[in-house]
Amino acid sequence: MTMNNQKNQDQLAEQLERKGLNLAAIKESLKNQVIELPSWAVGNSGTRYGTFRDPGAAQTIWDKIDDCAEIQRWVGICPKMASHVLWDVTDDGKYTPVKEYAESKGMSIGTVHPNTFMGQQFRFGSVCNPFEDVRNSTLEHFRDCVRITREMGSKSIGIWLADGTNYPGQDNLFERKHRLEEGLADLYGAMDPDMTLFVEYKPFEPAFYTTDIMDWGMSLLLCNKLGDRAKVLVDLGHHLPGVNIEQIIAILLDEKKLGGFHLNNCKYADDDLMVGSINPLELFLIYAQLTEKEAHGNSDEITYMLDQSHNIEPSIEGIIQSVMNTQTAFAKALIIDRKALAAEQQEGDVMMANRILMDAYETDVRPLLAQVRAEMGLEPDPLLAYRRGGYAEKIVKKRKGTGTNTLGG
């Protein structure tokens, strides 16, 4: 550490101490942060209008693992790759080699995502489908997913259903709810006792009139009926405009029902942009709730994953930037002067309470994060370090820009 760095650190430690905060503990929290990388984000992706192919995009499951390991090399807090079962399997239908290859690269498999939205049979939904044979084949897929989760050495399954209807009168909404409850109970019952089920919600798309799990209330209702190991998954892009996500987080935390996140950012709906790129304040306020809980020594196990689609930016760079944005939000939330904030709240001083919160948000945490990275043996700026590392050029040469897309277009 240079003299200047040491001076900055000492100043920061002093400032934090005045707020009753401990620099070493904050650094420890930042070092222990874990974000799962989505295997599906390193392949080509696009919109329904087309795909701009990235010449270095991952083409095979091995490429995806290589890319995730490369990201982890620079960011150091992403040792897990979240998986989508249909897209992360060997050509001969095996999963164990995927796990083994990931391990050889220092990675493990995180949350496993079933896929009940891509087959032709799912035109009218999966577990909510009015046809019994489709419901049964969905349940079979769920049981396969439990086996795959076990085989991949993972402990969590993340379910998102594209089920819904497009037109009034298309199906009976009471019956769809019953089918949904029965289907998820079947999946839950098939899981190992140490597995957790994350239930993701989304207001619309691909269905536009009704969506069977349309919001956090529905997800919570289902999780409460299922049991302790069923928790709500919040995808940041799955809310109607104007919804206060941080309040949802506070409520779910208090109910001990927040299972995890699909991190991304949106301007309108499910835009899947880089987390923290459009609304960094919202991300900070979400982390403010998460750290509020931690500050009371009451933090639950929460799984953080990225769920993004890099359509015009190079995927690996987009992912690295997203991880950095998340670290920034977390660091700012960790330095909130909680004691002073609580005092102002008690006084009813709206102005000062807001100022204390914003003071943390406006603090430049880049030197702190650079220091944390240095202590972890990492470069201070992972994005620039990746650019200098030559991996991007290497994969373009090797993969020759023929990557297939996983999503959209």
Instruction: Give residues in contact with Mn ion (CB under 5 A).
Output: 235, 262, 307
Would you give the binding string for ligand PSV spanning residues 347-366, x where CB under 6 A is met?
--------------------
Nearest to ligand PSV of 86, 251 (CB atom): 86
Q: Could you tell me if 278 and 329 are in contact, meaning their C-beta atoms sit under 8 angstroms apart?
A: no
Nearest to ligand PSV of 84, 176 (CB atom): 84
Query: Nearest 5°: phi and psi at 353?
Result: -60, -45
Q: What angle, rounded to 10 degrees, do the helices at 23-32 and 315-334 form?
A: 150
Nearest to ligand PSV of 117, 361 (CB atom): 117
Question: What is the C-alpha to C-alpha distance for residues 191 and 193, in angstroms, rounded to an integer?
Answer: 6
Q: How many helices (H) and strands (E) does the chain have?
A: 15, 12
Determine, following the binding rule CB under 6 A, whether residue 212 of this chain makes contact with ligand PSV.
no
Q: How far is the CB of 306 from ligand PSV (least distance, A)?
A: 10
Q: Could you tell me if 82 and 110 are in contact, meaning their C-beta atoms sit under 8 angstroms apart?
A: yes
Q: Is 298 exposed, middle or buried (0-12, 13-18, 19+ CB in 10 A)?
A: exposed
Query: Nearest 5°: phi and psi at 191?
Result: -75, 155
Q: Could you tell me if 309 and 262 are in contact, meaning their C-beta atoms sit under 8 angstroms apart?
A: no
Indicate which single residue of 36, 67, 171, 200 sits in contact with ligand PSV (rule: CB under 6 A): 200
Find where tokens 């945490």 sit. 365
Indicate which single residue of 64, 113, 141, 373 sits in contact with ligand PSV (rule: CB under 6 A): 113
Q: How far is the CB of 235 from ligand PSV (least distance, A)?
A: 5
Determine, following the binding rule CB under 6 A, whether residue 261 of this chain makes contact with ligand PSV.
no
Chain centre distance of CA 388: 27
Determine, following the binding rule CB under 6 A, whether residue 235 of this chain makes contact with ligand PSV.
yes
Q: Which does 40 bind (CB under 5 to 8 A by kind): Mn ion, ligand PSV, none?
A: ligand PSV
Q: How far is the CB of 1 from Mn ion (least distance, A)?
A: 40
Beta bridge partners of 113: 84
Determine, following the binding rule CB under 6 A, whether residue 262 of this chain makes contact with ligand PSV.
yes
Nearest to ligand PSV of 21, 233 (CB atom): 233
The residues in 281-320 that bind ligand PSV, with binding defined as CB under 6 A, are 307
Give residues in contact with ligand PSV (CB under 6 A): 40, 113, 160, 200, 202, 235, 262, 270, 307, 407
